[in-house]
A and B are shown apart, each in its own frame.
Chain A
Amino acid sequence: MAASASFEEFYAATVDRLLGHLFLVTGDLHLAEEIIQEAFTRASMRWSHLRDYDRPEAWVRRVAMNLAADRARSLRRQTRALLKLGPPPAMPDVSVETLALVQALRTLPVRQRQAIVLYYLADLPIAEIAQALAVPSGTVKSLLARGRRALAAKLGEPEEVFDRA
């Protein structure tokens, strides 16, 4: 993004993409919307600095991923305490196969979900995923391997078919 870009231009160019990523990480459209709004609000407060970054989107994505991880930990505690009395997650209209994938993703630890989304959907290289998640590259490879294995098992499909095209 050009250093001269306004926050409005940056927002218009990136918000949809990041919302899609966050939906897959959270498995809940409303939660994804909330997290995206918070991440971009923080970006707006720092835009005079962020506008000079090579890729301010990476900053917003990192903030959003951290918020998603915090929320996942918080939800896990609440779930234990409340025995899942909350409302069901908000889900867009998708095919049965894709719904199964989203539901299977939700059962994975949040770090595995993040690694899978950033690798397969955001198409980021391992080193960049490591930076976004603040973990070593080896950890990203391990998160991907475990996530692929778990997803394949939950969906009843062979793991080999996860090869990145």
Chain B
Amino acid sequence: MSELRERLQEAADAAIREGRTPTAAVLVTRGRRRRLRLAGDGPA
């Protein structure tokens, strides 16, 4: 297990390869909508 770091990195790299993350614009829009909702100005 001296290669613990390498094995952790292998798993992390696989997650990065196969993971799905939206674009930043999607998250910015989501955050904006949430802010409006919290302020009571947006759709429920």
Query: What residues of chain A have their CB less than 8 Å away from a CB belonging to chain B?
Result: 7-8, 11-12, 15-17, 19-21, 23-24, 29, 32-33, 36-37, 40-42, 44-45, 92-95, 97-98, 101-102, 116-117, 120-121, 151-152, 155, 157-158, 161-165
B44 within 8 A of A: no
B11 to chain A, nearest CB (A): 5
Contact residues in B for A37 (Cβ distance below 8 Å): 21-22, 27
Establish whether residues B24 and A8, one from each chain, have CB atoms under 8 Å apart when the complex forms.
yes
Q: Quick one: which of B9, B19, B20, B35 has the most chain A CB within 10 A? A: B19
Instruction: Decide if the interface of chain B is mainly helix, strand, loop or mixed.
Output: helix
Establish whether residues B20 and A33, one from each chain, have CB atoms under 8 Å apart when the complex forms.
yes
Establish whether residues B15 and A29, one from each chain, have CB atoms under 8 Å apart when the complex forms.
yes
A101 to B1, CA, bound (A): 10
- Total number of residue pairs linking A and B with CB closer than 8 Å: 108
Give the size range of B's interface with the partner: 20 to 34
A44 to B32, CA, bound (A): 8
B20 to chain A, nearest CB (A): 6
Establish whether residues A92 and B18, one from each chain, have CB atoms under 8 Å apart when the complex forms.
yes
A76 to chain B, nearest CB (A): 22
B7 to chain A, nearest CB (A): 5
A40 to B26, CA, bound (A): 10
Contact with A along B11-33 (1 / 0, CB 8 A): 11111111111101101101110
Contact residues in A for B9 (Cβ distance below 8 Å): 20, 121
A11 to B27, CA, bound (A): 10
Interchain residue pairs A-B with the least CB separation, the first 7: A20-B12, A23-B15, A92-B14, A11-B24, A44-B31, A45-B31, A92-B18
Determine the residue in chain A with the shortest Cβ distance to B22.
A37
Q: Can you list 18 A-B pairs with a CB-CB distance of less than 8 A?
A: A8-B24, A11-B27, A17-B16, A20-B11, A20-B16, A29-B15, A33-B21, A37-B21, A41-B30, A44-B30, A92-B14, A92-B19, A95-B10, A101-B7, A101-B11, A117-B8, A151-B4, A163-B2
